[in-house]
Amino acid sequence: MTSTTDTRISIAPRHRLPAASSWTLTIAVVVALLALLPLGFVLWAAVVTGWEMASQLIFRSRVGDLLANTVLLVVFTIPICAVLGVALAWLTERSDLPGARFWSWLCVTPLAVPAFVHSYAWIGMWPAFNGLPAGVAISVVAYFPFLYLPLSAAFRLLDPALEDQAASLGLAPFAVFRRVVLPQLRLALCGGALLIGLHLLAEYGLFAMIRFDTFTTAILDQFQSTYNGVAAYMLALVLVLCCFVLLGLEASLRGHSRYARLGSGVARRPKIARLGRWKYVALLLPAATAAFALGIPVLTLGRWLIAGGAGVWRIDEVGLALWQTLVICLVGGLATTAAAVPIAWLSVRRPTRASRFLEGCYYLASSMPGVVVALALVTITVRTMLPLYQSVATIVLAYVVMFLPRALVSLRASIAQVPVEIEQAAASLGRSPGNALLATTIRLAAPGAAAGVALSSLGIMNELTATQMLAPNGTRTLAMAFWALTGEIDYAGAAPYAVLMVAFSLPLTFLLHHQSKKIAGR
Amino acid sequence: MTLLTLTSLRKQYGSVAALDGIDLSVTAGSRTAIVGPSGCGKTTLLRLVAGFDAPDEGRIVFDGQTLADGSSQVPAHKRGIGIVAQDGCLFPHLTIRQNIGFGLEAEASVKSARIAELMDMVGLDAAMLSRKPDQLSGGQQQRVALARALARKPRLMLLDEPFSALDTGLRAATRKAVTDVLTAAGITTLLVTHDQGEALAFADQVAVMRAGRFAQVGSPREVYSRPVDAATAAFLGEAIVMPADIADGQAKSPLGVLPVDDIAYRGKAQIMLRPEQVTVSQAGGHNGGEGASGTIAEINFCGPTSDVRIRLGGDPQGFSFRLDIPSRETLFVGDRVTIGVAGAAHVLR
């Protein structure tokens, strides 16, 4: 009899999470609900507006034009980025290109230049360049690193034995690339393409400056000029649907295949292709890319700085903007990372269906364009909690929603590197669960948390759309000041703000590059 | 007929000579095993034959055609040499059907029939064709890898430790299956392994490799019972090596006077016995009396056999050797034993 009782006692608690986990889960659920607020708002707005009104606002030529612009932008930009990304990643990782390491850094550096600064640089160079061609060209130079980074990591991780095997089965080098290498880049291609697609949908400054209308610019125009709530909500709804289309496309293209190396042991180092006399021709590609993606911003900024002289460095104004930017980046970065801790811990230590679902919610929420997040939070605060309108709390919430995955990725990777046994050892030495977590995992995961703060801060520093709509009165970040001055055609006056944004983003961009190398184990 | 000839192959990685002058000739239809400890250069040798790497010096001639000669080399995809790697190296993004059909150039129906035939040949169920490699066990993956390599009907098959990732029971079964398939197809095979038992069981010709060179090449029986030196002897199995004074086909050794396999040799040398030549019985037992005597110095019970150390004579510092004996012998530390030797000792020069 005793034995049956014992069995029941030992089985029962399995289904229940320990107290610490359930608290963590509760916090993670609350954060997820907050993160889903903008999406929920858009759906609510659609329902409240009603079919008749909604269809009037959606099925009109203006929306058709915007949709055509968006589709063309995505359809041209992503394939060009993909081809450029694959070519550059192959050259820098798998060929004996002279100075490959140097070019590899240069391929990531454009990320340090905010997209709207790229745009500013291009129209500084060619004022008449606008419309779709300009949109595509500037988007390519601003966003191709999002594909280059995962692709170069994937190239480093490819198992060269598979390529050898394919050659022994009679495939010539190009066929090996097409049938063995390219399929293995699929995950990197899909992930990078999705990221670029979402940026194209969400970006405001880049397209506003070259007068290329997208949903985001249209929503912001509507919001700023006519304050036509319902029309803006309906545009936001279509924009959200576009995001869903991209997410769905990516999910279906990505597939469920396993791409990791089968079997045991460590792969050999990949073979380096000899370019021979093509070496100097091949150099043209990274050189031209760097010239467009970095040369143009450097030239334009340099020219405006020289033209403006010392006068554009109004220390009080520039200094104040820098100070406010740093404070908001730090607060936002810390809040974002803190919000990511519960789900990061759960997904590594207690991976369940619920934790995976929650993680999916965060990613979905962060794929909402900044303009939608801001529109939702403005409307919600104005209608229900006016004191929160344009408050620090609201803008920080917007940043948490938009940048949480950046912190989550770094945090999760570093928590996963801390063996759970260390936490258990601390517990066996008499520490309470919370105390053990603090003394072991959290301390050892600190570098990952720091990287999370840094990466989300980078996003916040260069964020313009939501910041403009949500910033408390009297706030003037670097991005806002830059935007205001370019709006007044004071390009020289705007230059110092752009230079500061780039200067502060550079180290963070290098951190990103370093992380991608580390993930690849090199 | 010689199918593959390697002449003075050299390959350097930085300051390390991975291959330091390799000569080998492989007869058509034969099975050759290259055996050596890890890092001896055997995988490098295989990669040169496959065409994945180029030799710094030396020639590789296959079926009358020079594949590599220091200055130029035929690329891997034009060699028609199959390879099965250590972990199968299946393409993870393709199904089993696509993996096996990967190198086949034929119309769909012919291809499909050939794939079915190959699956049958390696003893796999056709139902597996639509699966992905990670849904197969290690042994099944190796069979798929073999089928994929066989699909192109190569004249030479290279096996790079294809069984070492499998667990013990599966290893023997998979090795047998692979050997049978290759023999039936009449394909010349070059196996690389660090497992001496595997090499001896698999091959017609065994090349023992050490530090980038072949220490010895010969039939399995020859390299096992007549190794060139003590290191080769020890690598291929347990060996009892002792000093001896040799004259007229007889060696005076710590185990008494033993016949040797080299009648012409005179003088001092090391001689070698394989443990299976040595019998041990309790002194004064029914088959005792003949041969040297010793004392059990140490005994470790290992199930069916016991690992014993036997010391000769009364001197505690004297010559001793290890031996596995059946556990049914009830011996204890300190027991006196009589040692018998069957067959001739091998003279190591």
Task: Collect all residues of chain B within an 8 Å Cβ-Cβ radius of residue A274.
Answer: none
Q: Are residues B265 and B282 in the same domain?
A: no
Q: Are residues B197 and B249 in the same domain?
A: no
User: How close is the nearest chain A Cα to the Cα of B166, in Å?
Assistant: 10
Confidence of residue A258 (pLDDT cuts 50, 70, 90): low
pLDDT of residue B49 exceeding 90, the answer is: yes
pLDDT at A384: 85
pLDDT at A235: 84
Nearest to A379 by CA among A202, A236, A239: A236
Please, which residues have CB within 8 angstroms of residue A75's CB and are 6 or more apart in sequence?
none
Task: Collect all residues of chain A within an 8 Å Cβ-Cβ radius of residue B105.
Answer: 170
Cβ distance A183 to B93 less than 8 Å, yes or no, reads yes
pLDDT of residue A406 exceeding 70, the answer is: yes
DSSP per-residue letters across B262-323: -TT--EEEEEEE-GGGEEEEETTSTT-SSSEEEEEEEEEEETTEEEEEEEESS-TTS-EEEE
Q: Could you give the ipTM of this predicted complex?
A: 0.77
Report the half-sphere exposure of A249 (CA within 13 A, side-chain side).
17
Q: Are residues B267 and B216 in the same domain?
A: no
Q: What share of chain B is helix, strand, coil (3-state, %, to 5)?
A: 25, 40, 35
Q: What is the mean pLDDT of residues B28-49?
A: 92
Q: Are residues B117 and B156 in the same domain?
A: yes
* Chain B residue with minimum CA distance to A183: B93
Mean pLDDT comparison of A49-63, A242-256, A430-444, B10-24, highest-scoring range: B10-24
Please, is A226 exposed, middle or buried when counting C-beta atoms within 10 Å of its C-beta (0-12, 13-18, 19+)? exposed
Q: Count other C-beta atoms under 10 Å from residue B221's C-beta.
A: 10
Which of A158, A162, A168 to probe by mutation at the B interface, max B CB count within 10 Å? A168
Cβ distance B50 to A164 less than 8 Å, yes or no, reads yes
Q: Are residues B63 and B100 in the same domain?
A: yes
Cβ distance A164 to B132 less than 8 Å, yes or no, reads no
Q: Are residues B287 and B254 in the same domain?
A: no
The token pair at A447 is 């570098």
Dist CA B236 CA B234 (whole Å): 6
Dist CA A6 CA B332 (whole Å): 48
Query: Tens digit of pLDDT for each residue in A467-501?
Result: 888 888 888 889 999 988 888 888 888 888 999 99
Q: Are residues B289 and B330 in the same domain?
A: yes
Which of A157, A165, A176 to probe by mutation at the B interface, max B CB count within 10 Å? A165
pLDDT at A13: 40
pLDDT of residue A142 exceeding 90, the answer is: yes
Dist CA A294 CA A110 (whole Å): 6
Dist CA A217 CA A299 (whole Å): 27
Task: Collect all residues of chain A within an 8 Å Cβ-Cβ radius of residue B79.
Answer: 168
Q: What is the mean pLDDT of residues A43-57?
A: 82
The token pair at A331 is 């607060």
Mean pLDDT comparison of A36-45, A233-242, B21-30, highest-scoring range: B21-30
pLDDT at A49: 80
User: What CATH number corresponds to the domain at position B317?
Assistant: 2.40.50.140
User: Residue type for A241, please?
Assistant: L
Dist CA A269 CA A261 (whole Å): 13
Lowest mean pLDDT among A47-61, A104-118, A459-473, B174-188: A47-61
Would you list which residues of chain A are within 8 Å, Cβ to Cβ, of chain B?
159, 161-162, 164-173, 176, 179-180, 183-184, 186, 257-265
pLDDT at B214: 94
Task: Collect all residues of chain B within an 8 Å Cβ-Cβ radius of residue A263.
Answer: 86-89, 138, 141, 165
Share of chain A above pLDDT 90, in %: 20
Q: Are residues B145 and B242 in the same domain?
A: no
Query: Tens digit of pLDDT for each residue in B247-290?
Result: 989 999 988 899 999 888 999 999 999 999 998 888 765 544 46
Q: Are B259 and B250 in contact (CB under 8 A)?
A: yes
User: How close is the nearest chain A Cα to the Cα of B160, in Å?
Assistant: 12
Q: What is the mean pLDDT of residues A202-210?
A: 88
User: How close is the nearest chain A Cα to the Cα of B143, in Å?
Assistant: 14
User: How close is the nearest chain B Cα to the Cα of A214, in Å?
Assistant: 38
Helix axes A61-94, A186-202, angle to 10 degrees: 140
Dist CA A357 CA A344 (whole Å): 13
Buried b (16+ CB within 10 A) or exposed e, A422-455: ebeebbeeebeeeebbebbbbebbeebbebbbbb
User: Residue type for B328, please?
Assistant: R
Query: Tens digit of pLDDT for each residue in A265-314?
Result: 556 677 788 888 888 899 999 999 999 999 999 999 999 888 877 777 78
* Chain B residue with minimum CA distance to A179: B102
Confidence of residue B241 (pLDDT cuts 50, 70, 90): very high
Higher pLDDT, B168 or A478: A478
Lowest mean pLDDT among A327-341, B60-74, B212-226, B320-334: B320-334
Confidence of residue A518 (pLDDT cuts 50, 70, 90): low
pLDDT at A7: 40
Report the half-sphere exposure of B29 (CA within 13 A, side-chain side).
4
Q: Are residues B196 and B79 in the same domain?
A: yes
User: How close is the nearest chain B Cα to the Cα of A179, in Å?
Assistant: 9
Dist CA A243 CA A273 (whole Å): 39
Report DSSP state, residue B136: S
Q: What is the mean pLDDT of chain A?
A: 83
Q: Are B345 and B272 in contact (CB under 8 A)?
A: yes
Q: How many domains does chain B have?
A: 3
The pairing of beta strand B336-341 with beta strand B278-282: antiparallel
Task: Collect all residues of chain B within an 8 Å Cβ-Cβ radius of residue A180.
Answer: 91
H or E element in which residue B25 lies: strand B16-27
Dist CA A80 CA A77 (whole Å): 5
Cβ distance B103 to A172 less than 8 Å, yes or no, reads no
Report DSSP state, residue B345: B
Judged by DSSP in three states, B259 sits in strand
Residue ending a domain, among B231, B254, B289, is B231
Q: Are B156 and B189 in contact (CB under 8 A)?
A: yes
Q: How far is CA B269 from the centre of its chain?
A: 27
Q: What is the number of CB-based contacts under 8 A between chain A and chain B?
A: 91
Q: Are residues B256 and B218 in the same domain?
A: no
pLDDT at A261: 57
Q: Are residues B267 and B281 in the same domain?
A: no
Q: Which domain covers residue B264, as residue numbers?
A: 238-271
Cβ distance A263 to B88 less than 8 Å, yes or no, reads yes
CA-CA distances (angstroms) from residue A472 to A133, A324, A460? 36, 11, 15
Nearest to B83 by CA among B23, B142, B4, B165: B142
Helix axes A19-35, A353-366, angle to 10 degrees: 30
Q: Are residues B220 and B242 in the same domain?
A: no
